[in-house]
């Protein structure tokens, strides 16, 4: 819109410049004609003064015949008409010159105002262009950072999936079976929607696909539960700690095996209060909330792997959170 306004001001400026040039030319022509007419009128006035007030009567009475009298009268009448026309033209040119000068002043003021408006709009346009370039650079940087975060998140999820797959393979080998056995898990079907929350707080993000402000798509295999740094995190069910340590973008992470192919994952911890292969019971404090992603508030990243794949952990927990 600002670019179109500047273009419109350019067109107006060109039009006003053309009108100024035309008005200036008209003024010059009018002044020239007025000067000529005034010089002629001045000479006529000098002639009339020299001849005196009785010149007309003398010219008529000195005629030798009636025909010469009529001819002299017509000549004097034409001369008088010419003088009146000359005076009228001088007055007309004087008035026209005054109007032309007023119009020229008005056009020059409009020209100056137009130039000021154009200068202001050009300054505004430059500011907008700089702002747009700055926002574009910021958006590109954010997009790159988001893509990098997404890439790290995908690698973390792949690492977690590989880790759990290796746990499952080891469990099956130890049990001497070819397929996963779901019996023996401390997470029962009857627990659906009844498990206690590992930490109390609202959800920062939910399970599944979400759209970011930069239109990037993130798929979360768990939920983020907001809580102050240092808040105690509790095990949702009994089991054995099969992993304690840093896990990509999840930061310090604890993985608890509940048996039968069921696992719970607790990420973004400030610290872990359990050790590898430790047995925990439901409600045990296993660590505290920390910060693993500076773009998100302090929270616990929580997942449930039920029979292998990730499921919506919020659906297994007691009550609903927003």
Query: Residue 205 sits in a domain of what CATH number?
Result: 2.70.70.10
Which residues does 27 contact at the CB level (< 8 Å), separation at least 6?
A: 97, 100, 101, 104
Q: State phi, psi for 22 to the nearest 5 degrees.
A: -65, -45
Of 86, 113, 140, which marks where a domain is finished? 140
Query: Residue 8 sits in a domain of what CATH number?
Result: 1.10.287.1490
| Structural contact between residues 30 and 97, judged by C-beta atoms closer than 8 angstroms | yes
Whether residues 14 and 128 fall in one domain: yes
| Structural contact between residues 310 and 304, judged by C-beta atoms closer than 8 angstroms | yes
How far is 121 from 129, CA to CA, in rounded Å?
12
**152 lies in a domain?**
no
pLDDT in tens, the chain (322 residues): 777 777 777 788 788 788 888 888 888 888 888 888 889 889 888 888 888 777 777 777 787 888 888 888 898 888 889 988 888 888 888 888 888 888 877 878 877 888 888 888 888 888 989 999 999 998 888 888 878 888 888 899 888 888 888 888 888 787 775 454 445 789 988 888 899 999 999 999 999 887 766 666 778 999 999 999 999 999 999 999 999 999 999 999 999 999 888 999 999 999 999 999 999 999 999 999 999 888 889 999 999 998 678 999 999 998 765 5
- What local confidence, expressed as pLDDT, does residue 205 receive? 92
- What local confidence, expressed as pLDDT, does residue 321 receive? 59
- What local confidence, expressed as pLDDT, does residue 197 receive? 96
N-term to C-term CA, the chain: 42
Which residues does 33 contact at the CB level (< 8 Å), separation at least 6?
A: 93
Crossing angle for the helix pair 2-51 and 66-175, to the nearest 10 degrees: 170
Range of the domain at 267: 184-316
**217 lies in a domain?**
yes
**170 lies in a domain?**
no
Q: Count up the domains in the chain and report the number.
A: 2
Whether residues 198 and 80 fall in one domain: no
The DSSP secondary structure of 239-253, one letter per residue, reads: EEEEEEEE-GGG-EE
Of 113, 140, 167, which marks where a domain is finished? 140
Whether residues 112 and 213 fall in one domain: no
121-130 burial, b at 16+ Cβ within 10 Å, e below that, comes to beeebeeeee
- The token pair that represents 21 in the structure block: 């040039």
Which residues does 161 contact at the CB level (< 8 Å), separation at least 6?
A: none
């Amino acid at each position: 819109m600002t670019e179109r306004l500047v273009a419109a001001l350019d067109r107006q400026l060109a039009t006003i410049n053309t009108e100024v040039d035309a008005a200036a030319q008209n003024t010059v022509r009018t002044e020239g004609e007025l000067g000529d007419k005034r010089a002629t009128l001045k000479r006529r006035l000098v002639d009339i003064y020299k001849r005196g007030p009785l010149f007309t009567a003398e010219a008529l009475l000195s005629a030798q015949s009636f025909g010469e009298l009529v001819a002299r009268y017509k000549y004097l009448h034409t001369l008088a008409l010419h003088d009146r026309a000359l005076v009228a033209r001088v007055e007309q040119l004087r008035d026209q010159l005054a109007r032309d000068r007023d119009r020229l002043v008005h056009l020059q003021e409009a020209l100056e105002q137009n130039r000021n408006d154009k200068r202001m709009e050009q300054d505004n346009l430059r500011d907008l262009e700089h702002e747009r370039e700055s926002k574009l650079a910021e958006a590109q940087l954010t997009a790159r950072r988001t893509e990098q975060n997404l890439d790290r998140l995908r690698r973390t999820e792949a690492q977690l999936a590989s880790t759990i797959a290796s746990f499952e393979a080891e469990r099956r080998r130890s049990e001497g079976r070819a397929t996963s056995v779901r019996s023996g898990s401390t997470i029962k079907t009857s627990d659906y929607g009844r498990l206690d929350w590992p930490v109390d707080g609202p959800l920062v993000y939910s399970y599944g696909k979400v759209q970011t402000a930069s239109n990037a798509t993130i798929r979360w295999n768990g939920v983020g539960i907001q809580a102050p740094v240092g808040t105690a995190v509790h095990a949702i069910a009994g089991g054995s700690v099969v992993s304690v340590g840093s896990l990509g973008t999840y930061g310090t992470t604890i993985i608890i095996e509940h048996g039968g192919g069921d696992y719970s994952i607790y990420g973004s911890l400030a610290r872990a209060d359990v050790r590898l292969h430790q047995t925990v019971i439901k409600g045990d404090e296993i660590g505290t909330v920390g910060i693993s992603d500076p773009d998100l508030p302090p929270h616990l990243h929580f997942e449930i792997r039920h029979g292998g794949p990730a499921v919506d952990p919020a659906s297994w927990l007691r009550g609903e959170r927003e």
